[in-house]
Each structure stands twice: as structure tokens, then as C-alpha cells.
Structure 1
Amino acid sequence: MAEKAVLGFLEKNEGIPDSGQFAAECGINHDELVNVIKSLHGFGFVDSQDIKRERWVLTDEGRAYAATGSPEVQFFLAIPTEGIPPEELQRKLNPSVFRIGRSQAMKNQWVEMGKQRVTRKVLNVEDTVKDLLLRVQDGQAINPEDIDALKRRKLIAPQIWKGYSIRKGTNYAPERKKAATDLTRDHLQRGDWKELEFKEYNFSAKGQPTEGGHLHPLLKVRQQLQLIFLQMGFEEMPTNNFVESSFWNFDALFQPQQHPARDSHDTFFLQVPSTTKMLPEDYVERVKHVHELGGYESRGYGYDWKREEANKNLLRTHTTAVSTRMLYLLAQKPFAPKKYYSIDRVFRNEAVDRTHLAEFHQIEGLVCDRGLTLGDLKGVLKEFFSRLGMSKLRFKPAYNPYTEPSMEIFGFHEGLNKWVEIGNSGMFRPEMLLPMGLPEDVRVIAWGLSLERPTMILYKIDNIRDLFGHKVDLGLIKRNPICRLGIE
């Protein structure tokens, strides 16, 4: 309808000076008319020039006052001729109306605010604010002083109106015929192809860009870390079991069954299947003994160890459960030194925030050999992290149920110009290793960190939910640069 009205009007007239006025006269929605003008202009049917006008419109607060009256008048009318206690008046009015109305009514010297009673100082008042708002709403002109007063009270706001003036274009025609884009079988059979106007073919137009796959930043950093481990002679551990028993996840690591990490608010326990039926019984007995009575120069924990707790299935809370299985298998054969690593998902029942997720990735490395010391651990850590671009390390004593000694690892971040925690490390306790059957002189040094933390540092991401999970920005994955580990 709008297109027919525009082309029909231009057939008998030179142009349309104002699209807003034309829309009002023809009963056409102006937004619809603007879309038609843009389309006709694009095909050369009309030439258009922009028109911009500033007008004032009511804010939400202004519309409310235009309907119910200004706060000062509402305040005034709520006061009976004999006066009213302030507390009772406040109960009668909306809090914002009371606050604003009291201020404006006192400013206008309409009321007397006594401690015991609020009284009127005048008999009648006129609601000039409401009248002005109604005039603005109807599009009537008001003087600049009134505009300034309403604007200061945030009852009106400026709005830019955009429209067009139009005249005939080079390709003007009283009616626009839709150009055909295809020559079909029906056109040929009917013979109407002779009267059709075909859309011009653009031989220089480019085709639709092809979409290729994009590697996630976590995968890029993971690949670089795997290369570092392999260059240092490490062997990857199988991490395909997301579901693990409490025995391998906790008990075999000499972690007591009363430890807070084993509570349901920290760990995801499975309902089906709720328990495991496959555990090495002789090893289970040795683990039970060291928990209850100690051994290997340890006093143990001195509590009643329960098999049903160890049998509970859960989503693994760390990949150290995999390390435990690998060390147990290693102990069943003639001993040979090993270096293992793993990078995979772990799950913890944590509150989700900018730095924590219930599902994330853990990087773990361990070295198993005779006579290893804390100095060996620090040397391996310095070599590993130097390949990440972190040559400045600090170590802080820490506690862990299955490592002693234990250390937190801090690296100096050149970009942030400060020390940041990057992981944990330690030497596995004899109470964990010796029940497995490993020789007494064998030591295991290990360390772990999350995959997300170095990735966030390298890609300057401050919210982990932007990196991993259902809220991840796909545009970030497409735009992220090829990753070269090393902090600049």
C-alpha cells in the first residue's frame, strides 16, 4: 500500500517534501513508509534526502504525572483543610510522590510543614506541570523556560525524528515490476518469459564465504602442553574413565573418609550405578590397615574405615585417581622408572563464578624413580614452566593429604607484573605408595594445575564462563589467534 501511494503521488507531483506529513495524510505507518522509500531509492525509482527534527517526548515518570497529576499537586490535595499529621500524610502517598511532592510544594510555598501538623498555605493550586506535559504529549510548542524546567526534573527527553523528502529518480515508473531471478519451466510453457523483466546478473559478485572449523583456545593450549610433556620424555596416562570409585579417587591416596572433600556438597556422587564391584581385595585390605592402624612409620588416622564408603561411585574430582591406578599397575611388575602425564576433565560440586566451574580440565605430571628428592621436584618444575615462558618461580609450603612435603607454585606474570598461583605440587606419601607394593626406596614427585588458568592468561580472558561452557562466545573461538605459549 505504501509503495503504491508513493509512486502514484509522484506520477502527478514533483515530489514529497516531508515523509512524516505524507504518512499522516495517507494513514500509513511512518516506519513502513521509510522502509519502502529506502527500497525504492536503492532501485533508482526515487531520490531521497534525509530530514531530521528534534522533538520532546515524555519519560516514563512524565507519562505517569500526565495521567495522575504532578507529585506536588497530589501532595497538596492529600492535605485536608484542617491539616494532617506528617506520619499520616506519608502513609497516604506513594513514597516517591511524598518525597518529591513535599519538596516542590514547599518550594512553591503551598504548604506549611510543622512538626505536629502539615497545613495548606493557599486555598487552591493549578497543576501547571501536568498541563505542560499534556501539551508536550500532544506535540504543541511550549516556551524554552518550561522545557528547561521539565528537562531538569527528567520528565521529558529529546528524541530525534528522522524522515525523508523524495522526488522522482532516474528509473522512476508508476509501478514497480518484480524482476525475475530464474527462468523456469512454467515460464517457458506459458510463454510469458517474453514479457518478464529479469534481474541483472552481477558477474563480479563473490560467492558465499566458506565456513571452516576453528580450534578452541583450550585445545590449542592443550596441544602445546602435550608437546612439552612429550619433549621431556613423559608418557600419557589413559583418562577415559570419568566415573571413578571413591577408593581410587580418595582412599588409595591416603585421604580419610571424614575429609570435607568427600561430602556431597563438594563431590558429584552417582545414583546409578551407585557402587563399584571391582576392586583388588588384597590392596583394599592394605589400604584399610594403613588408614585404621597406620604402618610404614605412620600412625594412620585411627578410625573405623568403611568399605561401603570406598565403594561409592562418583565423577572424578581430580586426575590423580588415574595416577593412583597407574602406580598400582606399575607396582605389580618389576620396577622401572616412569614419567607420566595427563590432561583431561574433572568434576567438582562448586558454585560457578568468574574463576570456578563445576567441570574443568586438570593437567598432571608425575615422575616415579628411586631416590627422588624435593630438589628433583623443583628442578623438574623449573624446566616444565620455563617452556611455558615462566622462568621465575616461587614455592610456598602447603598441606595435602597424599603429599608430604607439599608446595604451592607461583610464577611471575610479566604481563600482569605480579606473582600468580599456577599450581600445586608435592611428593606422594609412603602411606600411599608402599601399600601398592612399590619398593621402599621409590619416590614419586607430582604436580598439577588447571588448563583453564594458563589459557585465560594467554588470551586475556577474565571470566572462565567466556572460555568454557554453554555461555562461550563462538565469535571468540573464530577470532582467537594461533597460540604460541609464552607470556609477553
Structure 2
Amino acid sequence: MAEEAVLRYLENNEEISDSGKFAEERGLSHDDIVNVIKSLNGFRYVDAEDIKKERWVLTEEGRSYTEAGSPEFQVLLAVPVEGIAREDLQKKVEPSIFKIGWSQALKNKWIKMGKPNVSREVQHVEDKVKVVLLRIQNGEAISSEDIEALKKRKLITQQMWKGYSVRKGPNYAAERKKVATDLTRENLQRGDWKELEFKEYNFSAKGQPLEGGHLHPLLKVRRQVQMIFLQMGFEEMPTNNFVESSFWNFDALFQPQQHPARDSHDTFFLKEPSSTKTLPEDYVERVKEVHERGGYGSRGYGYDWKREEANKNLLRTHTTAVSSRMLYLLAQKPFAPKKYYSIDRVFRNEAVDRTHLAEFHQIEGVVCDRGLALGDLIGVLHDFFSRLGMSKLRFKPAYNPYTEPSMEIFSYHEGFKKWVEVGNSGMFRPEMLRPMGLPEDVQVIAWGLSLERPTMILYGIDNIRDLFGHKVDLGLIKRNPICRLGIQYTESTS
């Protein structure tokens, strides 16, 4: 019906100047008219030009007032001629309506707050707000003063209306011809293919989008970081233990049992199984000794170390727990220098916000060798972070229970124009290394950073919940580019 109306009208008229008015005059849906115009325009039956108009429409709140009246009018109607106590008036009107209507009615001097009752100042008024809202709803013009007043109260909003003006096209006909899209066997047998009009090929048309797998931005950056470690000669540590004992996660790292990080407010402890069954007993005794009485030049912490605390199972709070296992295993063999790395999930009992989640990924690098010093750590950090595209580094002294000295790492961010913390680092303490059985001249340097922070910077994401977690938009994963900006590494020539 809509297509016939458009083509028949153009048969005797030069132009449809406004598709909206055309649809309204004929009692047709404007959406149907628009769809027909687009189709006819595609086949050049008509030539269509866009029409855009800005118009005011009612918000949901504004539409509700066209039926019940404005809040101030509703408050006025609720005040009887003899007056009413304010508390009783509030009971007669919805709380949201009373809150708005009370102040507006007082401002309009429709009501008066006396002692003790609220009384009417006027008996009959016109609800101008409702009248103006109805005029807007009917498409009538209103004054700029009324528009400003309603805008301020958020009762109207501006909407862009789109329509078309239409003229005859080069292929115009009063009735659309049905064109064939395929040449069939029956056409050839009947011979009617000679009279058929075939639809033209659109060589510019795009095909159906291909569906396939897409790499998550975190996986892309993880792979790039992994390549950097491998090029620097590092071996990957096994990180398949999400559940760790407190011993490997804390005690082996010379972290005291009274440390705040070991509280349930910061760490996820397991109910089942709640404790570990096996630990290397001789190593446990050496760890207990260094905690209680010290050693290797340290006074220790001077408290009664409890085995039941060390046995508690938890979701690991850092991948340094993996490093402690690997260094212990290294100490059980004839010593050989090693470089280890890991990239995997860790878990913290933290409040979730735009920069924190209860689980995230930690990147860790560990170098174990004889005669290492702080200068070696700084040199390795410059090499590592320069390959990540962060050549401007600064270091700030910090405290960690298991490293001394310790340094926070800052890099200058060209986009933010400021120094941003990118990681933490330090040299593992003798109180951690010697109980493992590592030789006295062996030192270990280590550093760590999150995987999410550099990924958010590289992909321009400012909320970690948009990158990782159950609320991630899958469209982001499909649309994100193959990112190389900021991360630099070279192919090995060996």
C-alpha cells in the first residue's frame, strides 16, 4: 500500500516535499513510507533527498504529567479549602511528586505555609505546565521561554527527526516491475528468458561478515610480553596452581604471620580443602627458625610461628608463590644460574572499581645467579621495559617483606604527560633464600607488574571491567586492532 501510494502520487505530481506529512495525510506509517522510499531509491525509481528536523519530545516524566497534571497542580488539589497539616498533605501525595510540587507551588504562591496548617492562596488556577506539554505532544509551536522552563525541569528533550523529499528517478514507472534474480532451467525450456528483465549485479555490495575466533586484547599483550621474556633467555614457570598453601604464598617469602595481607579481608581462604597435607618438613623447620629467631645476619620477627597458619589453603595472591617453589627446587640440585618468568592469574579480596578487580594477571621475572647487585636489577629492568616501549624509567625506594632493597618502577606516559607506576621490584632477602639451600654467594633479582595496566594503556581503555570479567562487551574483542604500538621487540637472529 505504501509503495503504491508513493508511485501513484508521483505519476501526477512533481515531488513529495515531506515524507512525514505525506504519511500523515494518508494515514500511513512513516516508517513504512521510509522503507519504501529507500527501496525505490535503490532501484532508481525515485530520487530521494534527506530531510532532518530537530523537534522537542516529552520525556517519560513529561508524559506522566499530561495525564495527572504537574506536581505543583497535584499538590494544590490535595490542599482542602479549610487547610491541612503538612504531614497529612505529604500522606495524600506520592513522595516524588510532593518533593517537586511543594517547592513549585510555594514559588507560584499557590499555597502558603502557616501555623500550623498549609492553606490555599488561590482557588482556581490553570495548569500551564500540562497545557504546554500537551501542545508539544500535538506538534504545536511554543515560546522559547516555555521551552527553557521545561528543559530545566527535564520534561522535554530534543530529538532529530529524519525524513525524505522524493522526485521521479530515471527508472520511474507507476508500478514496479518484478525483476528476475536467477536464470532457471524452466526459463530456458520455455524460452521466456529473452523477455525477462534481470536484476543488476551490485559489485560494490559487501558480503556477509565472516564469523570466527578473535584474540582478546589481554592475550595479545600477554603473547608479546612472553616473546620479550623468551628473547631475553627466560624460561617459563609452571603456574597451574591457583590454590596455594599459606606456606608457599607467605611463609617461604619471609612474610610474617601477623602481616595484614594474610587477613581474610585481603585474601581468599578455602573452606574445602582448608589446609595442605604435605610440605617439605626439613625446609619448613628452617623457615620456622628464621621467622622466630632469625639467621643469616637477621634477627627474624621474634614471634611463635604456627604450623596451622602455614597449612591454610588460599587462592594465590601473587605469582611470587610460584617463584618460591621454583627457587626451592633449584636449590636441591647443583647450582646453575636461571632466569624464570610467569604470566598468570592471581586473586585478591578487594573492592571492585574501575581500576581494581578481585582477580587479575601478574607478570613476574626472576633472575638467579652469583654476585648479582642492585645495578644488575636496574640494568635488566631498563632492558625489559624498553622492549615494552617504556624507555623513560624512574625508581623509588619501597618496602616488601621478601625483598631488600626494593624499588617501585615508574615510567613517563606520553599520553598522560606524567609519571605512572608500572611495577615493583627488588632483591630477594637472605632470610628467604638461605633456608631454601641456595649458596651464600647467590642472589636473586625479581620484578612484577600487572598485565591489565599496559593493556588498558595500549588499547585506550579506562575501566578494567571493560577489559576483563563477565561484563566485557564481546564487540570490543571483535573490533580491537592488532596492537603493536608501544610494545617493541626484535626477532632473534640466532
| TM norm structure 1 | 0.80
SS at structure 1 position matched to 2:102: helix
1:408 counterpart = 2:408: yes
| Contact 2:215–2:477 (8 Å) recurs in 1 | no
CA shift for structure 1 position 384: 4.2
Measured in 1, the distance between the counterparts of 2:232 and 2:147 equals 75
1:331 counterpart = 2:331: yes
Task: Specify the alignment match of 1:101 in structure 2.
Answer: 105
Task: Specify the alignment match of 2:24 in structure 1.
Answer: 24
TM-aligned CA distance change 1:276 to 1:176, over 3 Å = farther
How many residues in Structure 1 have an aligned counterpart in Structure 2?
Answer: 480
Task: Specify the alignment match of 1:426 in structure 2.
Answer: 426
Task: Specify the alignment match of 2:436 in structure 1.
Answer: 436
The residue type equivalent to 2:27 in the other structure is G
Task: Specify the alignment match of 1:305 in structure 2.
Answer: 306
| Contact 2:216–2:477 (8 Å) recurs in 1 | no
The residue type equivalent to 1:255 in the other structure is Q
Q: Any idea what the Cα deviations from partners look like across 1:362-408, whole Å, max 9, x if unmatched?
A: 232333334444454445445544555434422313131x2334333
Measured in 1, the distance between the counterparts of 2:151 and 2:415 equals 47
| Contact 2:19–2:30 (8 Å) recurs in 1 | yes
Measured in 2, the distance between the counterparts of 1:312 and 1:186 equals 79
Cα RMSD for the two superposed structures:
4.0
Measured in 1, the distance between the counterparts of 2:412 and 2:56 equals 57
Task: Specify the alignment match of 2:481 in structure 1.
Answer: 478
| Contact 2:387–2:487 (8 Å) recurs in 1 | no
SS at structure 2 position matched to 1:363: strand
Measured in 2, the distance between the counterparts of 1:366 and 1:146 equals 70
Measured in 1, the distance between the counterparts of 2:151 and 2:409 equals 59
CA shift for structure 1 position 195: 5.8
| Contact 1:52–1:162 (8 Å) recurs in 2 | yes
Q: Any idea what the Cα deviations from partners look like across 1:323-342, whole Å, max 9, x if unmatched?
A: 22222222222223333333
Measured in 1, the distance between the counterparts of 2:153 and 2:461 equals 42
Indicate the percent of aligned positions where both proteins have the same amino acid: 72
| TM norm structure 2 | 0.79
Aligned ranges 1:342-357 → 2 under 5 Å: 342-357=342-357
CA shift for structure 1 position 234: 3.9
1:318 counterpart = 2:322: no
Task: Specify the alignment match of 1:394 in structure 2.
Answer: 395
Q: Any idea what the Cα deviations from partners look like across 1:27-64, whole Å, max 9, x if unmatched?
A: 32121112112211221222345556666544444433
| Contact 1:341–1:363 (8 Å) recurs in 2 | yes
TM-aligned CA distance change 1:225 to 1:185, over 3 Å = same
| Contact 1:397–1:407 (8 Å) recurs in 2 | yes
The residue type equivalent to 2:253 in the other structure is L
Aligned ranges 1:261-272 → 2 under 5 Å: 261-269=261-269
Measured in 2, the distance between the counterparts of 1:55 and 1:228 equals 57
SS at structure 2 position matched to 1:80: coil
SS at structure 2 position matched to 1:478: coil
Measured in 2, the distance between the counterparts of 1:252 and 1:102 equals 71
Aligned ranges 1:80-99 → 2 under 5 Å: 80-85=80-85, 88-89=88-89, 91-93=91-93, 94-99=98-103
Measured in 2, the distance between the counterparts of 1:151 and 1:461 equals 33
SS at structure 1 position matched to 2:100: helix
| Contact 1:75–1:102 (8 Å) recurs in 2 | no
The residue type equivalent to 2:175 in the other structure is E
TM-aligned CA distance change 1:100 to 1:189, over 3 Å = farther
TM-aligned CA distance change 1:249 to 1:47, over 3 Å = same
TM-aligned CA distance change 1:270 to 1:197, over 3 Å = farther
Measured in 2, the distance between the counterparts of 1:153 and 1:391 equals 51
The residue type equivalent to 1:409 in the other structure is I
Measured in 1, the distance between the counterparts of 2:258 and 2:166 equals 81
| Contact 2:393–2:409 (8 Å) recurs in 1 | no
TM-aligned CA distance change 1:19 to 1:319, over 3 Å = closer
Task: Specify the alignment match of 1:462 in structure 2.
Answer: 462
The residue type equivalent to 1:477 in the other structure is N
Measured in 1, the distance between the counterparts of 2:384 and 2:159 equals 61
Measured in 2, the distance between the counterparts of 1:422 and 1:127 equals 61
Name the stretch that deviates more: 357-366 or 294-303.
294-303
Q: Any idea what the Cα deviations from partners look like across 1:225-254, whole Å, max 9, x if unmatched?
A: 445545554444333444434332223223
The structure number with the bigger radius of gyration is 1
Name the stretch that deviates more: 372-381 or 245-254.
372-381
The residue type equivalent to 2:481 in the other structure is K
Measured in 2, the distance between the counterparts of 1:170 and 1:27 equals 28
SS at structure 1 position matched to 2:481: helix
| Contact 2:105–2:111 (8 Å) recurs in 1 | no
SS at structure 2 position matched to 1:421: strand
SS at structure 1 position matched to 2:480: helix
Task: Specify the alignment match of 2:492 in structure 1.
Answer: none
Measured in 1, the distance between the counterparts of 2:200 and 2:221 equals 50
1:287 counterpart = 2:287: yes
Q: Any idea what the Cα deviations from partners look like across 1:54-76, whole Å, max 9, x if unmatched?
A: 66544444433332234454444
CA shift for structure 1 position 191: 7.2
Q: Which runs of 5+ in 1 are unaligned?
A: none
| Contact 1:51–1:162 (8 Å) recurs in 2 | yes
| Contact 1:59–1:157 (8 Å) recurs in 2 | yes
CA shift for structure 1 position 163: 3.8
CA shift for structure 1 position 279: 3.6
Aligned ranges 1:176-187 → 2 under 5 Å: 176-184=176-184
The residue type equivalent to 1:40 in the other structure is L
Measured in 2, the distance between the counterparts of 1:426 and 1:220 equals 28
SS at structure 1 position matched to 2:409: strand
| Contact 1:50–1:164 (8 Å) recurs in 2 | yes
Name the stretch that deviates more: 330-339 or 163-172.
163-172
